[in-house]
Amino acid sequence: MGLQTLNLDRDDLVAAADATASRAAAALAGRQKADGHWVFELEADATIPAEYVLLRHYLGEPRDAEIERKIGVYLRRIQSLAHHGWGLFHGGAFDVSASVKAYFALKMIGDDVEAPHMAQARAAIHKAGGAAAVNVFTRIQLALFDCAPWSSVPTLPVELILLPRWFPVHLSKMSYWARTVIVPLLVLAVKKPVARNASDVRVDELYTAKRAKLTSKAAGTKAGWTTFFNGLDVVLKRVERLWPKGTRQRAIDACVSFVTERLNGEDGLGAIYPAMANSVMMFDCLGYPDDHPARAVARRSVEKLLVVKDDEAYCQPCVSPVWDTALAAHAMLEAGGEDAEARAAAGLAWLKPLQVLDVKGDWADEKPDVRPGGWAFQYNNAHYPDLDDTAVVVMAMDRAQGLLPSSPSPSGEGLGWGSPAKLTPGQGDTPPPPTPPLKGRGEESATLPVTGMGENYDHAIARGVEWTVGLQSKDGGWGAFDADNSYHYLNNIPFADHGALLDPPTSDVTARVVSMLAQLGEPIDSPRMAAAMGFLEKEQMPDGSWFGRWGVNYIYGTWSVLCALNAAGLDTKHPMMRKAADWLIHIQNLDGGWGEDCDSYALDYKGYTPAPSTASQTGWALLALMAAGKVDHPAVERGVRHLIATQDDEGLWGQEVYTGGGFPRVFYLRYHGYPAYFPLWAVARYRNLKRSNSARPAFGM
């Protein structure tokens, strides 16, 4: 297919793109759930499955030998052949914290410490400074098993939860994920429980004679603040036993109330693994029996994150159904055709009742007068909807309700732009997989006439927009979950060595909101749009790119912003757009694709470093260039040829590389759905623009 793709002339390339899009849409349809939604695996690094194993042994639960065996297979498979430890992403450098946790879990499972893979891992850990060199959260994990002193853990007194909101160090000044992880940890830190650990497994052999200081991965730390907070930590450790018992108990009770209010059923506290696991351990150390409703539901929430396959298993950090469904719906709308559009409608029908309309979450601490109206990332996380998901859902709903049965495709056929093309020789020889029928709510949506696809979305869109614009930060940008969460001095506290304590406005989320507002008709000179555009202009890098907080990295950020600038009507000759497009063209790989790895988040980043092409990043780059008016540029043609040539027999694209952002320099994500819907979206858009003779997309994404 590769050579045949290279030899296609431009007219044949459009036809081949159509065939590629049709096969990809059919394959994506095959991944749709019976009720209309999509959800793909969401994979992190070794730490989450390792922590899951350790959690069960901490609680003293009966061993599940089969699950442990399968997790062991997974952990051994992802161990690096190059450095013998575990990295934070596929092919990533050695990380001592991830490696200590993975080693501990494998030893707990029963791996012989003298087995080659264990001996090699241990040697690599020693070389990196041993278990003393791990980060704060790993020190806590070791302390819970009495394998490290609690004195090695920075102190956050449980009384923190009682402080007034004006106090410089306050939970409301931290990000949602930090908040939900820290509150149950406050109880664990004051109670200092020890794991039951019936197997009495320890990892003393991972220590060396060397001592190690915590090293921060936060950006922009200041020596003065760091010295102050380190000194404060020393004082807090010395006075820890002097806290009044009544105040301490009141603080513990407040932590329990905080967690219980946000337990979130079987979706868990914050709907993220670390917070969920900490809540279970908190209830356990406070003496809650296994069958107590709060503890039981918290424990069940953890199990729902497992991915169990025939030969291996791992634990996800969270699940991504709203994000996957919204993005898949966009891709299907771009693919066009009655079936794809009906399936997008089914996905949107599934999304509609998940809008949070009745819960004022933690975001209301900063914006108490704003009505709720957002969507969360997970199945349920009502206290923590996010602005990125909300903007993407709103844009999909708006686009869907704009479809009319009388609107012809550019080719003059059918309801959409996805009518099957005549295949050129060598293209599409493998037929697409059969598309399963929609069932349940999705079936009802699919049987509606296309005019009804979005007729009931007006209220959902209005409330989504109202909530989103209500959380604009003072600098004109938007963060992911909160407004004005920019207390950067907190990154200097010892506990914040991971550098992810805050949720400040970012280019990618701001761009998504601008895209949404522009698609809905907001003029570029309205006060909130002008402020947002000013934020984006300020955030542009000297080379023309934008930082990608939630996707890797500058390719993701640049895609996000160029879509927004196009939607806002900025001229393609504007310096912001021109510089960004030039940067993308400049970094294109020789194979026609684009790639960038997680090392681009390095604190000493000096500019783009070439990386192998990936399907998702190639999709982003193509969508970005087309948003910048470059649909006819040779770089776009090369990128489309690359995606056509690399489509697999199923109709999708393979990708082991991590292109999702969790916490820069600390935690990354492999979205298994990204190579399913982003390449489809890109090749379908190319086909659509070429057939309609349009220079630029008409939508926010």
- Residues with catalytic function: 388
Helices 338-351 and 10-30 cross at an angle (nearest 10°) of 40
Q: Is 307 helix (H, G, I), strand (E, B) or coil?
A: strand
Contact 500, 232 (CB under 8 A): no
Closest CA relative to residue 389, chosen from 474, 461, 327, 442? 327
Spatial separation of the C-alpha atoms in residues 236 and 231, rounded to whole Å: 9
Backbone angles phi, psi at 671, to 5 degrees: -80, 110
Q: 95-98: long-range contacts (C-beta < 8 A, 24 or more apart)? A: 95/45, 96/125, 96/128, 96/129, 96/133, 96/134, 97/47, 97/134, 97/135, 97/137, 97/138, 98/45, 98/46, 98/47, 98/50
Backbone angles phi, psi at 130, to 5 degrees: 80, -175
Q: Name the token pair of 356.
A: 């949070």
Q: Name the token pair of 28.
A: 């994506």
Closest CA relative to residue 332, chosen from 448, 434, 418? 418
Closest CA relative to residue 562, chosen from 553, 571, 549, 552? 571
Q: Quick count: other Cβ atoms within 10 Å of Cβ 216?
A: 19
DSSP code of 431?
P
**H helices within 239-272, ranges in order?**
245-261
Backbone angles phi, psi at 450, to 5 degrees: -60, -30
The CA dihedral of 166, 175, 473, 330, to the nearest 10 degrees, is -160
Backbone angles phi, psi at 300, to 5 degrees: -65, -30
**What residue ranges in 251-364 does DSSP mark as E strands?**
306-308, 313-315
Contact 139, 148 (CB under 8 A): yes
